[in-house]
Amino acid sequence: MGAAAVTVCICSHNRPEDVRLCLDGLRVQTVPADRFEVLVIDSASTPEAAAALRQLVAGYARARLLRLEQPGLSLARNLGAAEAGASYIAYLDDDAVAAPDWVEQVLVALAAGRPPALLGGRVLPRWEAPLPLWWPASLRGVLSIVETEGRGEYRGPDLPPRLEPCGANLVVHVATLRAAGGFCAAIGRRGTALLSDEEVQLAWRLQDAGHSARFDSRIVVHHRIPAARLTPGWLLARLYWQGISAVRSRRLLGRPGLVWRELPRRLAVAALFAPAALLPRASPRLLMCRWRLAYARGFLRAALSRAG
């Protein structure tokens, strides 16, 4: 087996059917199969799901299956980095399917200009059901959707200021990731907790240390959006945990002052919109108020908690 140019890492918890579709997308890449290797990380799946994953990976050449007994997306990604055989690791969510030229475009982007420590790309939706009309247009991103076109350095003049990396389609230099201590296990998906921002926190850490963290819209994956997420209850839960994630990420980046400066505004939002919490969770009424309230409550919980 020759040396791969990139290691593709798929982390999964109890979703073997999604992994099957993900692997099918990797079978039809435009580059030769020996240009990349595949790691599938089983993040504490049930025995039934684990058996299905073993069968899937056994049928895919150049793929290896690794198992973690402790669930957690950041832990799984770090295991992938520890076991990667290539100098770059490309993380692909198990419910995402890479475009046929995904690996090819990753290699093109890595060869262009200064070698990046981190590289992000587009994440286009595959809707299981239509996006509801009540869904706020500004919150498409919480569904792990990145539709921006263009190329450039994150937080630079060539890209929208709010554009952030998305872990569904993320390439990282392995040695740099290891030296930085990997993804932080204090954030990132874990069980039913919808914590996030671990890839954002990593990208800003690397940039602050002088590394390049770039975006290239030619690198495309298609991300399945389950119908179960397109509900007011899921959106409110996602924004609540986003508030917690924002506090933890800022503290991990050594910027606690940003938390305290924002605290009065979040207190005001929580007080102003508190009556909206009386509405049924499944109702889309007053959602613009309620999602702001959910975020504020998560933010306040983390900001005022010693563990947050």
Q: What are phi and psi of 148, to 5 degrees?
A: -60, 140
**Which DSSP symbol is given to 146?**
B
String of DSSP letters for 118-129: EEEEEEEEEESS
Q: What are phi and psi of 82, to 5 degrees?
A: -65, -30
Percent of the chain with pLDDT over 70: 96
Query: CATH fold of 6-228, please?
Result: Spore Coat Polysaccharide Biosynthesis Protein SpsA; Chain A (3.90.550)
Percent of the chain with pLDDT over 90: 89
d(C-alpha 243, C-alpha 241), whole Å: 5
Mean of the per-residue pLDDT values of the chain: 94
String of DSSP letters for 234-294: HHHHHHHHHHHHHHHHHHHTT-HHHHHHHHHHHHHHHHHTGGGGGS-TT--TTHHHHHHHH
Query: For residue range 60-108, what is the model confidence (pLDDT) as tens digits?
Result: 988 999 999 998 899 999 999 999 999 999 999 999 999 999 999 999 9
d(C-alpha 136, C-alpha 75), whole Å: 32
Per-domain residue ranges of the chain:
6-228, 232-303
What pTM did the predictor assign? 0.92
Query: For residue range 156-203, what is the model confidence (pLDDT) as tens digits?
Result: 999 999 999 999 999 999 999 999 999 987 776 665 667 778 899 999
Query: For residue range 7-51, what is the model confidence (pLDDT) as tens digits?
Result: 999 999 999 999 999 999 999 999 999 999 999 999 999 999 999
Radius of gyration of the chain from its Cα atoms, rounded to whole angstroms: 19
Q: Tell the residue number behind the tokens 């007080």, with chain if given.
A: 271
User: What contacts 121, CB < 8 A, 6 or more positions away?
Assistant: 105, 106, 146, 169, 170, 171, 215, 216, 217, 218, 219, 220, 221
Q: What is the mean pLDDT of residues 235-246?
A: 94
User: What contacts 119, CB < 8 A, 6 or more positions away?
Assistant: 106, 109, 110, 170, 171, 172, 213, 214, 215, 216, 219
d(C-alpha 185, C-alpha 199), whole Å: 11
CA distances from 41 to 35, 63, 152 (A): 20, 11, 31
Contact call for residues 186 and 248 (beta carbons, < 8 A): yes
> Where does the pLDDT of residue 1 fall: very low under 50, low under 70, confident under 90, or very high at 90 and above?
very low
Sign of the alpha-carbon torsion through 161, 164, 170, 173 = positive
What are the start-end ranges of the H helices in the chain? 16-27, 47-58, 73-83, 102-111, 174-179, 198-208, 232-252, 256-272, 287-303
